């Protein structure tokens, strides 16, 4: 009877998880979808705790107590982090939580691998799923940890990457595969499993080391898919269908998102896996200014936008740092009331995580149909009167189209320079996260609006209200 109830419960929780993820695809239902998925996951956890009653007929009070204490600690940390961390720190939080998911898979894989019986008939199938959880979980953990440190500014690319890093990654990947074969064929023992674990951790760190700039959202998405796949492997190990389904959903969605983002950046998935993001072109920002720049004022920009027919706003990480999205909403509202067509050009890798800009703008109720993807935005930019760039740099760099020697050459970007007038809001002339010069600043139709994004946008709102 209990088994039947648990099976029905797992089925309902699985359906709830699927529909929750489905509802997250629409901004209007995303919040309720997130809650549905969360409640379904809670239900799945509760049933997993009760499951030993069906298998063994009783619960180990000591082990059960450890589990409850761990759940309480994890719940407290999760709720506190969600309430405390600001939107600018969300990419770091995602990386950290993703890494903890990988660490969980490592612990599961390590313990279960040492308990495998080499003489058992199902040894190879069990060893396959267990080693997968251990190795991929270790890669996800150390890689996510490094991504967190880099995103949080605690480590710079130059401190962890070396010339020819991709060849180091190839070698580490080959060594990892050899060690997997050795562990499987010789039977798992403490020494061999520990060596495999250490090599996997080193590879995960090395895998992320050369990645930087606009490529970071891609690797976060890929590491997220890794963690999902390890959860699926853990589901196989313990025969938990709900964990298996949840892991497959996360792994599949993360992989699909990674492929789409790679296509948007003209990258191959193999380059991601090999950690071969760092281009070899002339990417240094040390070349100095390439010409003179024209400065704009908030008043000039306000007049230009107020009397335009079409305005394209391109948000970037600088908007997230300034937490100025409420002023962007006011600008959108004022211009729309004046019959100016206002749309937002969203680059797939703008910000520091997938969908970063979409989340910021949805937070202030910008209509979703005003958010355009890369191709749609470029069509609108070609016929726009004003392109307003707020804290974006690498994703609007014309070097990706015009300079074959640039490290970002071939990466699809928002072609803002095709607009009649371009206004770039920045604190200074410093290069972006990729560390390369941006020729956009020196184009004849570009004006620079220097200053803190929040204050400058507030001034721009005041100017628009006075017109």
Find the DSSP H helices in 239-355.
241-264, 269-273, 298-306, 317-322, 325-337
Task: Cite the beta strand spans of 273-372 per DSSP E.
Answer: 310-315, 341-345, 371-372
Which of 264, 260, 265, 287 has the alpha carbon at shortest distance from 276? 265
For tokens 């648990």, the residue is 6
Residues 154 and 320: their CA atoms lie apart, in Å, by 19
Residues 213 and 281: their CA atoms lie apart, in Å, by 14
Both tokens assigned to 380: 């609108």
Active-site entry in 215, 394, 403, 459: 394
Rg (CA), the chain: 25
For tokens 């209990």, the residue is 2
Number of separate helices (H) and strands (E) present in the chain:
18, 6
- DSSP secondary structure string for all residues of 175-190: HHHHHHHHHHHH---H
Known active-site residue 403: no
Find the DSSP H helices in 61-215.
61-84, 90-114, 123-151, 157-160, 165-186, 190-208
The residues annotated with a catalytic role in the active site are: 394
């Amino acid at each position: 009877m209990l088994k039947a109830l648990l099976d029905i419960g797992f089925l309902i929780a699985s359906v709830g998880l699927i529909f929750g993820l489905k509802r997250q695809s629409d901004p209007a239902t995303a919040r309720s979808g997130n809650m549905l998925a969360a409640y379904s996951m809670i239900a799945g956890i509760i049933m997993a705790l009760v499951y030993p009653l069906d298998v063994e007929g009783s619960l180990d009070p000591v082990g059960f107590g450890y589990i409850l204490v761990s759940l309480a600690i994890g719940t407290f940390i999760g709720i506190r982090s969600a309430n405390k961390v600001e939107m600018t720190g969300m990419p770091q939080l995602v990386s950290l939580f993703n890494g903890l998911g990988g660490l969980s898979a490592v612990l599961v894989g390590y313990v279960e691998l040492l308990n495998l019986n080499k003489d058992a008939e199902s040894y190879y199938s069990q060893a396959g799923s267990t080693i997968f959880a251990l190795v991929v979980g270790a890669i996800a953990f150390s890689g996510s940890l490094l991504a967190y440190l880099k995103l949080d500014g605690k480590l710079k690319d130059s401190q962890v990457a070396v010339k020819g890093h991709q060849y180091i990654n190839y070698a580490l990947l080959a060594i990892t595969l050899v060690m997997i074969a050795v562990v499987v064929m010789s039977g798992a023992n403490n020494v061999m499993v520990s060596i495999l674990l250490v090599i996997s951790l080193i590879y995960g760190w090395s895998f992320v080391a050369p990645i930087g700039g606009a490529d970071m959202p891609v690797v976060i998405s890929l590491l997220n898919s890794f963690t999902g796949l390890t959860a699926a492997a853990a589901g196989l190990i313990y025969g938990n269908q709900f964990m298996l389904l949840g892991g497959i959903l996360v792994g599949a969605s993360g992989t699909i998102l990674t492929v789409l983002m790679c296509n948007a950046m003209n990258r191959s998935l193999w380059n991601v896996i090999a950690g071969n993001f760092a281009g070899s072109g002339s990417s240094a920002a040390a070349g100095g200014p390439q010409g003179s720049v024209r400065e704009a004022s908030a008043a000039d920009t306000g007049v230009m936008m107020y009397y335009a027919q079409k305005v394209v706003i391109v948000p970037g990480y600088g908007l997230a740092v300034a937490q100025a999205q409420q002023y962007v909403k006011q600008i959108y509202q004022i211009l729309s009331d004046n019959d100016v067509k206002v749309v937002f050009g969203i680059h797939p890798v703008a910000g520091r995580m997938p969908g970063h800009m979409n989340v910021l703008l949805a937070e202030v109720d910008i209509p979703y149909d005003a958010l355009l993807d890369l191709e749609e935005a470029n069509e609108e930019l070609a016929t726009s009167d004003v392109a307003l760039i707020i804290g974006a740099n690498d994703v609007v760099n014309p070097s990706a189209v015009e300079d074959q020697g640039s490290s970002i050459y071939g990466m699809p970007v928002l072609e803002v320079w095709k607009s009649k007038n371009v206004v770039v809001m920045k604190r200074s002339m410093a290069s972006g996260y990729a560390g390369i010069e941006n020729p956009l600043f020196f184009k004849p139709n570009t004006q620079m609006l220097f200053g803190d994004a929040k204050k400058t946008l507030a001034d721009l709102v005041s100017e628009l209200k006075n017109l």
